[in-house]
Amino acid sequence: MPIPYGRQSLDDRDVQAVVDTLRGDWLTQGPAVAEFEQAFAVACDVPYAVAFSSGTAGLHAAAFAAGAGPGDELLTSALTFAASANCGAYLGAKPTFADIERDTWNVSGRTVAAALTERTRVVVPVHFAGLPAPVAEIRAAVGPDVAIVEDAAHAAGAWTPDGPVGACRHAEMAVFSFHPVKPITTAEGGMVTTRDATLRDRLAAFRSHGLSPTAELEDEPWLRRQHVLGFNYRLTDVQSALGRSQLRRLDAFVERRNAIARRYREALADVDALELAPAAPHGSRHGYHLFVVRHREGAPARRRLYDRLRERGILCQVHYVPVYRHPWYAETFGYEPGLCPEAERYYEGCLSLPCFPTLTDDDQETVIEAVRDLV
Ligand SMILES: Cc1ncc(COP(=O)(O)O)c(C=O)c1O
């Protein structure tokens, strides 16, 4: 069996939760959604959580709720999945990019400040690979008038001395993804957390066509009125039941990912050609959605390693090409290579090794031996 870089970890409890929901009265918009939202909010130590049909839908809604629109810029990390930037473009705002720091692979107050302009309306720091980005420092750099939406797609279960990622101590909102390779899964799904009841209401309306949550006119008690243009971005009850069940094991999943990362560190510490993923600082917990190594010899050596590992059934991946280098970004906004040199240097050498809770010790040893042998 090939060893993937990531995969879901499901057990009989998850299957039972889904089956019970299928046998119940609600397939969608029933009680399971609210239960999952409440449990997720508790896990993040935050008052409100709003479930979405994907992390991408959550980012779209969060950028909308933050007020991004034509003439604005939405500033995110160059090193991320395109969805972190696309959410601005959906609303007519221009996605712009901050470079990463060489030692954390995350944006910082310094790199965000360097890319900030008068038009920046929303900043989307990404907790890349599950390592919390310095949101307090970014808040200090952007001031109180720019909204911060954390892209926490990789970071459910990670924390900092300020609390869990998603607590929104320094940000307006945080967005999570429940795609199968993510810390917990609902197949497709996402969640947005916030401390602000007005933002919660805007998120909920955007998720469901822009409709008010309840009837507003006494004469027409059946009528939920549309006040903004929304979408159908709802998470189903079936998915929410799966998410609620998975959430019970989030802590164990993240612990296991940390144990896998520790083993990689011990076993690859003396491989000089590889730079290993930055660790979390004291008092923080890394989510290790990914365990990335960077080949110091650059693109050709990384390509050889990628190919040879695949020949041995080890399916590593590359996360990510700097977003502005996608053809659509170059064609639409005129971005050229060289915009964010650290993200490009990183991209030349990066490779994500298998890291997921059900990776067996034996399979991890197979990966370690292969990497040591090939590098
Ligand atoms: C950093 C980041 N943001 C956003 C997303 C989008 O999440 P989803 O796949 O749930 O739409 C992903 C998914 O891979 C991601 O990695």
pLDDT, one tens digit per residue, over 306-331 is: 999 999 999 999 999 999 999 999 99
- Judge if pTM exceeds 0.85: yes
User: Across residues 235-255, what is the average pLDDT?
Assistant: 98
Residue 208 forms beta bridges with which residues?
232
Residue 94 is a catalytic residue: no
Per-residue pLDDT, 235: 98
Q: Measured between alpha carbons, how far is residue 239 from residues 13, 28, 75, 288 in Å? A: 14, 9, 31, 24
Contacts of 43 (CB under 8 A, 6+ apart): 164, 166, 247, 250
Strand-pair category, 173-177 with 291-295: unpaired
Give yes or no for a contact between 50 and 59, defined as CB atoms under 8 angstroms apart. Answer: no
**DSSP assigned state of 280:** P
Per-residue pLDDT, 199: 98
Expressed in angstroms and rounded, the spacing between residue 153 Cα and the centre of ligand 1 is 6
Q: Is the CB of 54 under 6 A from ligand 1?
A: yes
For a substitution probing ligand 1, which of 52, 81, 184, 185 has the most ligand atoms within 8 Å of its CB?
A: 81
Per-residue pLDDT, 148: 99
Confidence of residue 226 (pLDDT cuts 50, 70, 90): very high
**Nearest atom, ligand 1, residue 126 CA:** 1
Q: Is the CB of 185 under 6 A from ligand 1?
A: no
Expressed in angstroms and rounded, the spacing between residue 63 Cα and the centre of ligand 1 is 15
Expressed in angstroms and rounded, the spacing between residue 292 Cα and the centre of ligand 1 is 17
Per-residue pLDDT, 98: 98
**Nearest atom, ligand 1, residue 189 CA:** 10
Q: How far apart are CA 259 and CA 87, in angstroms?
A: 34
**Nearest atom, ligand 1, residue 320 CA:** 16
Residue 193, both tokens: 């957390």
Per-residue pLDDT, 309: 98
Per-residue pLDDT, 290: 98
User: Across residues 111-133, what is the average pLDDT?
Assistant: 98
For a substitution probing ligand 1, which of 179, 233, 318, 321 has the most ligand atoms within 8 Å of its CB?
A: 179
Q: Is the CB of 77 under 6 A from ligand 1?
A: no
Q: Is the CB of 319 under 6 A from ligand 1?
A: no
- The count of other CB atoms within 10 Å of the CB of residue 52 is 28
CA count, 13 A, side-chain hemisphere, 69: 3
Q: Please provide the distance, in angstroms rounded to a whole number, between the alpha carbons at the two ends of the chain.
A: 23
User: Across residues 259-268, what is the average pLDDT?
Assistant: 98
User: Across residues 285-300, what is the average pLDDT?
Assistant: 98
Expressed in angstroms and rounded, the spacing between residue 119 Cα and the centre of ligand 1 is 25
Catalytic residue among 179, 182, 244, 325: 182
Q: Is the CB of 126 under 6 A from ligand 1?
A: yes
Per-residue pLDDT, 239: 98
User: Across residues 223-242, what is the average pLDDT?
Assistant: 97
Q: What percent of the chain has pLDDT over 90?
A: 99
User: Across residues 173-190, what is the average pLDDT?
Assistant: 98
Strand-pair category, 314-315 with 163-164: unpaired
Q: Is the CB of 86 under 6 A from ligand 1?
A: no
For a substitution probing ligand 1, which of 54, 56, 86, 288 has the most ligand atoms within 8 Å of its CB?
A: 56
